[in-house]
Every structure is written in structure tokens, then in C-alpha cells.
Chain A
Amino acid sequence: MLHYANPQHFLSLARRLTPWLLGAALLLLAVGVYLALFVAPPDYQQGEASRIMYVHVPAAWMSMFVYGCMAAASVAAFVFKHPLGDVAAKAAAPAGAVFTALALVTGMLWGKPMWGAWWVWDARLTSVLILFFLYIAYIALWDAIEEPARAARMARILCLVGAVNIPIIHFSVDWWNTLHQGSTVFRMDGPKMPVSMLTPLLIMAIAYTVLFAGLLLVRMRTEILARRLRTLRLNLEGAPA
């Protein structure tokens, strides 16, 4: 593992892994969307509107998973001074923001026909909206602070403070009376969903996860190159004319 803490070794590994991850993601997405639209049965209560689940739930899971990854990377950067910790967290944030936005928008498109409202200020929806703002604040913080080491430190703190929101999101449907339904997959007594719906849902979730992994590597490579460019420029400026 330590071998890949070296950005140079990491770059060559990432370069080799990226096409496999992105290829696998596309394949899984194709299978997942096919199962979701053509094979999965309509829900006995919600009818065909339940097909929104296959794009809504994976996006919502990813919105939390990506934040968890960023928090873990921030801890690695803080505690172990891992050189790729900040790079990983910074590279992941825009992907997390996109997944969160998708969870919110597909949720609205599901809420309107089922609840009769695009939006309600209930605990689940509000805490996910806060998560979206956390992503935006995190991205803005990196852009706002000029000095890289200080920006990294502030970003880690923001990320870790914001991490308290993640369990709040997960348990919001139990702690408060919400319009949003409770967990049907991550339950102590196992998933409460027929296999015909659970299979496409899990394939879509794995597809989103693998896609995120591929994009994360692409974005981390971009960030490592950006850092190299910055040092090259600094060297050029410092060099005698």
C-alpha cells in the first residue's frame, strides 16, 4: 500500500486501472438500466413511477458514500500526513456534489406524483440539501484560499465537521416523523424488497460506485498534474532570466 502513496507510483497504477473501471461502469450501467426499465416489475402501490428508484437510490447512497470517502481521506491527510489524502478528497468533491444534486432532483420527480409536492421540508430532504451545500462550501473553500497548505487544512476541518451530517441523514427517517420512507435495504432484519427489484437496484448501485472510482482516479491524476504544474511555474519564476 505504501508503495502507492508515492504520487509517481500512484499515477502509473491509476493510468492502468482507469479504462477497466470506466469500461466496467458502462457495462454495469447498461445492464442495470435494462433491468430497471424492462425487467423489474412495477410496484403494486406506485406503479411505473417506482422505476425512478433505480436512479434515485444509488445517487442518494453515493452522495453519502463519497462524503465518507472524503472524510476518510481527510483523516489520512491529517493523521498520517498521507500525500494523496487531500488530493483524493478534493478530487472526489465535485462528483459527490453531482450525485447529491441527482438524488435531490430525482427525488423531487418522485415526490411530486407520490406525495403531491416537489419539495417538503422534512428531516431527510433537509439534511440531504445541507449535504449538497457542504459539498459546495468544500469546493469553494479550495478555490478561495490562495496558499495550498492552508487551503488543505481548512478543507479537512470543514469536511470532518460536516461529517456529523452523514449519520443524521441515515437515521433522519427513524429519528423524526418524515414523509420520506424508511430504509428498505440497509435494515437489521435484511432487505425488505423482492429480488426482482433488489437485483437491478444493486447493479445500479455497483455501477455508480465503479463509475465514481474511475472518475476519482481521473480527477486525482488531474490534481496531481496541476500540483506539478504549480511547482514547475514557481521554479520558472524563481530561475534567473
Chain B
Amino acid sequence: MTFFAMGGYAIYVWPAYGISAIALIGLGVTSWRALRRNERLVELADNPDRRS
């Protein structure tokens, strides 16, 4: 498994890729959730009758 050893630099290379992935996925998920939330709220505000 020389690939995962990264020539002895595994403890630096993998965290760099891991942190990048986590941060960008996190940014994407929070941005998307905020959009969905506001879309729901505007929908509710435009049609107040449907509030239950």
C-alpha cells in the first residue's frame, strides 16, 4: 500500500485533501439548506392561508 503511505508524507497529504473535502462539502450543504429554508419561508409568506 505504497500509495497510501505517500512516500512518508501521508500524515500531511491526506489531511490536506480531507479538510478540503469537508470544508467545501460543508459550504455546499449549508448554502443549499439556507436556500431551501428561505424558499419555504417565502412560499409560506406568499400563501398565508396554507399555514397550519
Contact = CB atoms under 8 A, between A and B. Distances in A.
A139 interface: no
A106 B17 CA distance: 8
Interface in A204-241: 211, 215, 218-219, 221-222, 225-226, 228-229, 232-233
B1 interface: no
B10 to A, nearest CB: 8
Contacts of A226: 38
A191 B20 CA distance: 25
Counting chain B residues whose Cβ lies within 8 A of the other chain, the interface size class is: 20 to 34
Nearest to A91: B31
Interface string A98-112: 100110011001101
Interface string B17-51: 10110011011100110110011011001100000
Contact of B42 (A95, A112, A225): A225
Interface residues of A, number: 35
Given A48-B6, A49-B6, A225-B35, A109 B12 contact: yes
A106 B20 contact: yes
Main secondary structure of the interface of A (DSSP, over half): helix
Contact of A98 (B17, B27, B35, B45): B27
A55 interface: yes
A215 B31 contact: yes
A190 to B, nearest CB: 27
A106 B27 contact: no
Contact of A229 (B16, B20, B34, B45): B45
A156 interface: no
Contacts of B41: 225, 229
Interface in A49-98: 49, 51-52, 55-56, 59, 94-95, 98
22 contacts: A37-B17, A48-B8, A49-B6, A52-B13, A52-B16, A55-B20, A95-B27, A98-B23, A98-B27, A102-B23, A109-B12, A109-B16, A215-B31, A218-B31, A219-B31, A222-B31, A222-B35, A225-B35, A225-B38, A232-B45, A232-B46, A233-B45
Interface of A: 22, 33, 37, 42, 47-49, 51-52, 55-56, 59, 94-95, 98, 101-102, 105-106, 109-110, 112-113, 211, 215, 218-219, 221-222, 225-226, 228-229, 232-233
